[in-house]
Homo-oligomer: A and B are copies of this chain.
C-alpha cells in the first residue's frame, strides 16, 4: 500500500520529466495568468493605502465654549475618543491656540485685546484603515451632543464624495478581479486539458491493463499540483521582483507598494485549486468509456 502510494506520487513527478513540453507550456501559461491576477491583487491591497492617505487628511475641528475648564477638556477628549470611528484626538487649549497664533502671525492676541478670544478646541482624526467607507456625520452628531461643544467645522460633502467614489472603485475592482479570476481558471484548465488530450492513448492503455480510475488519476493530479505550485511560486517571485522595481520607480512619488502577506497563500490556493479541478475534469473526460 505504501509502495503503491509512493509509486503513484513518483509517477506524477516523472510524468513532468517525461512530458517536458506540456509541463513547460502549462507552467508558462499558468504563470502569465497568475501574474495578471497577482498584479490585480497588489493593486487592490494598495488602493487601500491611497484612501488611507486621503483619510488621514480628513479634518474635524471641534470648538468648545470659552468657559470650558482644563479638567473638563480631558473628560471631553476621552468622551470623543470613545466615539466609534474616531482614531485620535488632539486637544488645543486656549493657551495653545494663543501660542499657535503668535507663531503664525507674530502678534500676542491677549496683549492686543486684553483677553484671549481663542476658545479651546480639539482636532479629531477619523479611523482610516477600515474597509468600510467612513462617513463623518454620525461622529459629528455624537460630538455635537456633548456638553461644552460650541461649533464643529468639517469638510462634510467632500469626504462623502471621496468615500462614495472609493466605494465604487472597490466594487469595480472586485468585479474585474472576479472576471479575470474566472478567465484565468478557464484558460488554465484548458491548458491542462490539452496536455491530457495529448496523453489519452496512454491513459487508455493503462486502463486496458487493469489500472483503476484512481491509479490513472492520482499521478495526473500530483503532476498538476506540482506544476501549479511551481507556477504559483514563480509568479510570486515575478511579482515581488516587479514590485521592487516598481517601488524604485515610484519612490519619486513618495508612494510605496506593499505586497500583502496573503499574496503567496492566495496564489498557491488559486493555482492548486485550478490544478486539481481541471486535472480531475480532464482525466474524467478521457476515461469515460
Query: Contact between B194 and A36 (Cβ–Cβ < 8 Å)?
Result: no
Query: Contact between A32 and B187 (Cβ–Cβ < 8 Å)?
Result: yes
Instruction: For A200, give the chain B residue with the smallest CB separation.
Output: B198
Contacts A36-B180, A180-B36, A198-B198 given: A29-B187 contact, CB under 8 Å? yes
- Tell me the A6-31 residues at the B interface (CB within 8 Å): 21-22, 25, 28-29
Query: Does A195 count as interface, using CB distance less than 8 angstroms?
Result: yes
Determine the chain B residues whose CB is within 8 A of the CB of A94 once the complex forms. Answer: none
CB distance from A197 to the nearest CB of B (A): 5
Determine the chain B residues whose CB is within 8 A of the CB of A183 once the complex forms. Answer: 32-33, 35-36
Query: Does A217 count as interface, using CB distance less than 8 angstroms?
Result: no
Query: Does A44 count as interface, using CB distance less than 8 angstroms?
Result: no
Query: Does A98 count as interface, using CB distance less than 8 angstroms?
Result: no
* Chain A interface category by residue count: 20 to 34
Q: How far is the CA of A206 from the CA of B22 in the complex (A)?
A: 22
Query: Contact between B194 and A25 (Cβ–Cβ < 8 Å)?
Result: yes
Query: Does A193 count as interface, using CB distance less than 8 angstroms?
Result: yes
Q: Report copies per complex.
A: 2
Determine the chain B residues whose CB is within 8 A of the CB of A269 once the complex forms. Answer: none
Determine the chain B residues whose CB is within 8 A of the CB of A195 once the complex forms. Answer: 194, 197
Q: How far is the CA of A71 from the CA of B195 in the complex (A)?
A: 80
Instruction: For A28, give the chain B residue with the smallest CB separation.
Output: B190
CB distance from A59 to the nearest CB of B (A): 23
Query: Does A186 count as interface, using CB distance less than 8 angstroms?
Result: yes
Query: Does A239 count as interface, using CB distance less than 8 angstroms?
Result: no
Contacts A32-B186, A36-B180 given: A191-B191 contact, CB under 8 Å? yes
Contacts A29-B187, A187-B32 given: A21-B180 contact, CB under 8 Å? no
Majority-rule SS of A interface residues: helix
Query: Contact between B190 and A25 (Cβ–Cβ < 8 Å)?
Result: yes
Determine the chain B residues whose CB is within 8 A of the CB of A29 once the complex forms. Answer: 186-187, 190-191
Query: Contact between A194 and B198 (Cβ–Cβ < 8 Å)?
Result: yes
Determine the chain B residues whose CB is within 8 A of the CB of A36 once the complex forms. Answer: 36, 180, 183
Instruction: For A180, give the chain B residue with the smallest CB separation.
Output: B36
CB distance from A137 to the nearest CB of B (A): 23
Taking a contact as CB atoms closer than 8 A, the residue among B22, B28, B191, B197 that contacts A21 in the complex is B197
- Tell me the A191-210 residues at the B interface (CB within 8 Å): 191, 193-195, 197-198
Q: How far is the CA of A125 from the CA of B135 in the complex (A)?
A: 38
- Give the top 9 A-B pairs by smallest Cβ distance, nearest first: A198-B198, A194-B194, A25-B190, A32-B183, A29-B190, A29-B187, A197-B198, A25-B194, A32-B187
13 A–B contacts from the bound complex (CB under 8 Å): A28-B187, A28-B190, A29-B191, A32-B186, A33-B187, A35-B183, A36-B36, A36-B180, A36-B183, A190-B191, A191-B194, A194-B194, A198-B198
